[in-house]
Amino acid sequence: MVWFNFAPLATAVKEDFGLEIGQVRTIAICNVALTVPARIIIGMLLDKYGPRITYSLLLMYAAIPCISFALAQNFSQLVISRLALSIVGAGFVIGIRMVAEWFPPKDIGLAEGIYGGWGNFGSAASAFTLPTIAAILAFSGGSIINWRLSIALTGIIAAVYGVIYFFSVQDTPPGKVYQKPQRTSGIEVTTKKDFWFLMLMNVPLIGILCVLAWRLTKVGFLDQTQLYLVWACLVGLYLFQAYGCWQVNKDLLLGNKRYPPEERYNFSQVAILELTYIVNFGSELAVVSMLPAFFELTFGLSKQAAGMIAASYAFMNLVSRPGGGLISDKLGSRKNTMAVLTAGMGIGYLMMSTVNGNWFLPAAVLLTMCCSFFVQAAEGSTFAIVPLIKRRVTGQIAGNVGAYGNVGAVAYLTIFSLLPEGDVGNRIFFQVLGSAAMVVAFLCWFVLKEPKGSFAEHHEGEEDYVAPSMQPEGSSVNSGM
């Protein structure tokens, strides 16, 4: 709800500051920009310190950019505070690791789906509640709703809940050890080939931030010199990240360490999951931002009616994301579930590219909701697999996969901003989404592999663990987890 508190109040902010449409779209892109590196960093902190501390601090941090945005006096301050607030979106990966600690593999799809579904439902909750709250909080006689206090309030509530969270939860069930990698400065891989594959898959994470910086020059936030400086800093960030990965894996690369077959995992599986999250969650973030205007202009609806219809896309999360996880649990093949749902999403987007003013409105709404089911069910299916790849680096894997969702969002929103307004631009946009999904569905079907222990009663390494209370006197606890 905090992460998406701008979209439902964008019109009020635009009127208050006299912004152009390009500036409003830039703020929307900034809202998902720093989530890319933040999810990677949060994944590292998560594996080192655990969910309780990491999530509590992130929730309390949310108040700072919310209040800064509420106090902004110009476009530059709006952009800076929104970039800072985009870090809040990294919280998703923390819960992925925590839920995985509390639920066995055979139930992980539904458990993660419920968690993710309620998370994405927050965007719909923002759309429905924040304009009303802002109107109620408006000072008497004011012509503009009180968007400032409304946005600040969401951050304050998050900070209070952060304190409640810290004193209410624990990282693992009683008697269970929280698995941690030896080093957290980069993802641990198990073959030399996978290290170079990791280096390749890190390039888009930095590349999309270079695209964002270029986008900021188009609205006058950065000049050409500043753009080159930002690009140089991003190249430095990539090299720093590469050095961290080298530090973690140098024994493997120098030939001083070799993983036994049972300890290895295939990084290509992580890469495919990153691509699935581009086409499902990345497309959802992009579509949510354009759908109200799509219905308003295509069918001549009022802003309120178009907003309510568009919100149904996000509301579907309550059912579809847990549904995708449940299907993954029950179908008997997480790989095939991923492939079918991704293909269904691609077909849905390609059908949406044919929607125009001649369509029967209820039919268009029904198609939108069907498409959103496949999109969000595919998200649930993705994170039914992520916790099963390699237990001790689940946080970092979830961080990288989650970051790719935001890579997709920034890429799709940038493409959309360059397309012509109206039916032509909408048609091309949905065709891009659908085509990308069909390519990834092919990869899921023919390259993605079923994770080991997909439907087991225990996660890897848990079978041999005995709680301290069950240990014979004088024996030591097996901490091989």
Phi-psi region of 104 (alpha: psi -120 to 50; beta: other; left: phi over 0): beta
Percent of the chain predicted with pLDDT > 90: 41
Q: pLDDT grade, residue 459 (50/70/90)?
A: low
Q: What is the predicted pLDDT for the residue at 54? A: 94
Distance between CA atoms of residues 305 and 292, nearest Å: 9
Residue 145 scores a pLDDT above 80: no
The model's pTM = 0.82
- Helical spans, DSSP H, in 138-189: 147-168
Q: pLDDT grade, residue 460 (50/70/90)?
A: low
Residue 467 scores a pLDDT above 50: no
Name which of 282, 285, 273, 278 is nearest 396 in CA terms.
273
Residue 417 scores a pLDDT above 60: yes
Q: What is the predicted pLDDT for the residue at 478? A: 38
Residue 476 scores a pLDDT above 50: no
Name which of 430, 276, 401, 387 is nearest 339 in CA terms.
276
How confident is the model over 424-445, as a mean pLDDT?
95
**Taking all residues of the chain, what is their mean pLDDT, rounded to a whole number?**
86
How many residues appear in the chain? 481
How confident is the model over 222-251, as a mean pLDDT?
92
Distance between CA atoms of residues 345 and 323, nearest Å: 14
Q: What is the predicted pLDDT for the residue at 311? A: 76
Q: What is the predicted pLDDT for the residue at 463? A: 57
- Please give the single-letter amino acid code of residue 246: W
Contact (Cβ atoms closer than 8 angstroms) between residue 147 and residue 451: no
The two structure tokens encoding residue 89: 């979106």
Q: What is the predicted pLDDT for the residue at 462? A: 61
Percent of the chain predicted with pLDDT > 70: 92
Q: pLDDT grade, residue 143 (50/70/90)?
A: low
What are 38-75's pLDDT values in tens digits?
888 888 888 889 999 999 999 999 999 999 999 999 99
Query: Of 130-134, 200-204, 392-396, 468-472, where does the model show the most confidence?
Result: 200-204
Q: pLDDT grade, residue 439 (50/70/90)?
A: very high
Residue 469 scores a pLDDT above 50: no
How confident is the model over 354-377, as a mean pLDDT?
91
How confident is the model over 256-265, as a mean pLDDT?
88
How confident is the model over 79-92, as a mean pLDDT?
91
Contact (Cβ atoms closer than 8 angstroms) between residue 19 and residue 13: yes
The domain covering 7-170+183-452 belongs, at the CATH homologous superfamily level, to: MFS general substrate transporter like domains (1.20.1250.20)
**What number of CA atoms fall less than 13 Å from residue 168's CA on the CB side?**
8
Least-confidence region, from 49-58, 293-302, 347-356, 373-382: 293-302
Q: What is the predicted pLDDT for the residue at 48? A: 87
Q: What is the predicted pLDDT for the residue at 461? A: 62
Contact (Cβ atoms closer than 8 angstroms) between residue 32 and residue 121: no
Q: What is the predicted pLDDT for the residue at 144? A: 64
DSSP 15-35: HHHT--HHHHHHHHHHTTTTH
Residue 20 scores a pLDDT above 90: no
Longest dimension (CA), the chain: 78
What are 275-323's pLDDT values in tens digits?
999 999 999 888 887 887 788 888 988 766 777 787 777 778 888 889 8
Residue 409 scores a pLDDT above 60: yes
- Please give the single-letter amino acid code of residue 465: Y
How confident is the model over 417-430, as a mean pLDDT?
88
Spell out the residues 6+ positions from residue 330 whose beta carbon is closer than 8 angstroms to its own: none
Return the percent helix, strand and coil in the chain, to nearest 5.
Answer: 75, 0, 25
Q: What is the predicted pLDDT for the residue at 471? A: 41
Contact (Cβ atoms closer than 8 angstroms) between residue 79 and residue 221: yes
Phi (first) and psi of residue 348, to 5 degrees: -60, -45
Q: Name the DSSP class of 123.
A: H
Name which of 180, 153, 145 is nearest 53 in CA terms.
180
Distance between CA atoms of residues 320 and 374, nearest Å: 7
Distance between CA atoms of residues 375 and 278, nearest Å: 11
Q: What is the predicted pLDDT for the residue at 480? A: 36
Phi (first) and psi of residue 100, to 5 degrees: -65, -30
- In this predicted model, which residue has the larger pLDDT, 341 or 409? 341
Distance between CA atoms of residues 266 and 466, nearest Å: 29
Q: What is the predicted pLDDT for the residue at 34? A: 86
Name which of 218, 290, 278 is nearest 403 in CA terms.
278
* Residue found under tokens 């600040």: 152
How confident is the model over 360-385, as a mean pLDDT?
91
The two structure tokens encoding residue 109: 């799809």
Torsion sign across C-alpha atoms 404, 405, 411, 414: negative
Spell out the residues 6+ positions from residue 290 whose beta carbon is closer than 8 angstroms to its own: 416, 426, 429
Residue 332 scores a pLDDT above 70: yes
Q: What is the predicted pLDDT for the residue at 10? A: 82
How confident is the model over 453-472, as a mean pLDDT?
54
Q: What is the predicted pLDDT for the residue at 477? A: 36
Distance between CA atoms of residues 475 and 481, nearest Å: 17
Contact (Cβ atoms closer than 8 angstroms) between residue 115 and residue 96: yes
